[in-house]
Amino acid sequence: MAGPSGKKEKVDKAGPSGGGKKKKDVKKETGLGLSVKKDENFGEWYSEVCKHEMIEYYDISGCYILRPWSMAIWEIMQTFFDAEIKKMKVKNCYFPLFVSPGVLEKEKDHIEGFAPEVAWVTKSGKSDLEVPIAIRPTSETVMYPYYSKWIRGHRDLPLKLNQWCNVVRWEFSNPTPFIRSREFLWQEGHTAFATKEEADEEVLQILELYRRIYEEYLAVPVVKGMKSENEKFAGGLYTTSVEAFIPNTGRGVQGATSHCLGQNFAKMFEIRYEDEEGKREMVWQNSWAYSTRTLGVMIMTHGDDKGLILPPKVASVQVVVIPVPYKDANTQGIFDACTATVSALSEAGIRAEEDLRDNYSPGWKYSNWEMKGVPLRIEIGPRDLENDQVRTVRRDNGVKEDIPRGSLVEHVKELLEKIQQNMYEVARQKREACVQEIRTWDEFISALNQKKLILAPWCDEEEVERDVKARTKGETGAAKTLCSPFEQPELPEGTLCFASGKPAKKWTYWGRSY
């Protein structure tokens, strides 16, 4: 990987620095480092962090280039998820990018949800197309006419397909890398079952995989729950989701969704099967997706004023090994020790790289790899060589440790696991500190202003959610439901809805959201 773009040349021109310079000087010299702090200007901080080197901004607004540093993380999640769904007998396929208008508009609620964001192709070369063609915002209407063709008898069920693809939603609200982009990558699973029970079961199996992606891979704590009627998937029966929370902005973020579509699309697209008695029945359907948004949530959750912090499980480079030569030291010996260290780690399946560039000081390299979020740094200098040890420096908490080279691999493995766990734990604690249980409207408004993740007793009425939205509308967006967590705290009889004063039916998370 190249260094932060545009900044390297300055060092080149200043001439190779032999090492030993203080980090502060190097920063000054190279312009390395972020220009804003996470707590001071979160939006600008996020944008800067993404540029090292997850994203490159593109000349079309709302479109971003995923650089290898982020793509590698996406691929690691993909490998995990793809293997898991294959165990569930889901098969991959690929449906076209284009949808004809008649099909797109077949399910009324669904198209109402997506119509304003649909991009239309109207020309090829210099000719107008006879009929404008839509680019998929999601593939329900692309796929289901064929489900209707493929599903005839009960033996054709369940039908479980998935595709990895790009989709386009030409949104006009503030574009944000990963979180809200006009084109994004995702997987979309589309399944059909004979019974609602099977569909219900799969919705939760998939949701659990999404939880694992966030919690086990990205070290981001999420809440599993049910979306409200207002917030469910357009045209579906119910939507479950994993919801994350960004303490700095006090916003919830929908992490991934697993929808039961019920029989609504089946009705519109006539997806019927003959059961064992020869009766024609409608199928029950699910669809579920997670996208490159996951990467944005990870960056927002873990990054600090030094840059990215990548969880070891998804980092394409888990360990970076940096030589720290001094003038009168055995430089070649140090370099050799670095190479040997990388070899030993690589052989043990740890993703390790050395940074032997001679035109940067160790201090510059430290900052550079910290910026890029590599979970563990190993430094090898003359004293380490003498003592047959290496120095490890954790990215998550800065803790330094000297470890004997004899037990290098075990130590590093253990450290990477500790980092992964600690990152999750820290993030969980930060989120927990933001959760506020409220009972009344005043408490609600006060908690909202304090950027809390609000847990409130709610009557579960659509009209009331709309009303809350209307009453909290402002520059920073209206508050809405995030989800009703499956793990419900006790709801004592007589508890009233914070907003309507009617009897509360459930605890629900509320807040502003991405």
Q: Which two three-digit tokens encode residue 70? A: 């982020």
Phi/psi of residue 170, each to 5°? -80, 75
Nearest of 130, 128, 126, 110 to residue 118 by alpha carbon: 110
In the complex with a copy of itself, which residue's Cβ is closer, 106 or 430?
Answer: 106
Convert 200-229 to b/e letters by CB count within 10 Å (16 or more is b): bebbeebbebbbbbbbbbbbbbbbbbbbbe
Beta-carbon contacts of residue 362 (< 8 Å; ≥ 6 apart)? 19, 20, 322, 323, 324, 379
**Least Å distance between CB 470 and a copy of itself?**
24
CA angle 352, 358, 360 (to 5 degrees): 85
Neighbours of 125 (CB within 10 A): 4
In the complex with a copy of itself, which residue's Cβ is closer, 161 or 319?
Answer: 161
**Least Å distance between CB 266 and a copy of itself?**
17
In the complex with a copy of itself, which residue's Cβ is closer, 98 or 486?
Answer: 98
**Least Å distance between CB 457 and a copy of itself?**
38
**Beta carbons of 307 and 371 less than 8 angstroms apart:** yes
**Least Å distance between CB 361 and a copy of itself?**
15
In the complex with a copy of itself, which residue's Cβ is closer, 43 or 116?
Answer: 116
Which residues would be at the binding site for a copy of itself (CB under 8 A)?
Answer: 2, 5-6, 8-9, 12, 56, 58-60, 63-68, 71-72, 74-75, 91-100, 103, 115-126, 132-133, 135, 145-146, 149-150, 152-153, 155-156, 159, 161, 165-166, 168, 170, 182-183, 185, 274, 357, 359
Alpha carbon distance 448, 480 (integer Å): 11
**Least Å distance between CB 115 and a copy of itself?**
6
**Least Å distance between CB 508 and a copy of itself?**
31
In the complex with a copy of itself, which residue's Cβ is closer, 92 or 450?
Answer: 92
**Least Å distance between CB 420 and a copy of itself?**
23
What's 405-445 look like in SS3? HHHHHHHHHHHHHHHHHHHHHHHHHHHHHHEEECCCHHHHH
**Least Å distance between CB 264 and a copy of itself?**
21
Alpha carbon distance 395, 405 (integer Å): 20
In the complex with a copy of itself, which residue's Cβ is closer, 59 or 328?
Answer: 59
In the complex with a copy of itself, which residue's Cβ is closer, 2 or 470?
Answer: 2
**Beta carbons of 19 and 326 less than 8 angstroms apart:** yes
Tell the residue number behind the tokens 């593109």, with chain if given.
58
- The residues that bridge with 99 in the sheet, in sequence order, are 134
**Least Å distance between CB 340 and a copy of itself?**
21
**Least Å distance between CB 284 and a copy of itself?**
18
- Residue by residue, DSSP assigns 161-218 as EEEEEEEE----S--BTTTB-SEEEEEEEEEEESSHHHHHHHHHHHHHHHHHIIIIIS
In the complex with a copy of itself, which residue's Cβ is closer, 54 or 438?
Answer: 54
Alpha carbon distance 448, 236 (integer Å): 30
Alpha carbon distance 429, 452 (integer Å): 14
In the chain, the amino acid numbered 92 is N
In the complex with a copy of itself, which residue's Cβ is closer, 36 or 72?
Answer: 72
In the complex with a copy of itself, which residue's Cβ is closer, 5 or 429?
Answer: 5
- Residue by residue, DSSP assigns 299-310 as HHHH-BTTB---
3-state class of 127 per DSSP?
A: strand
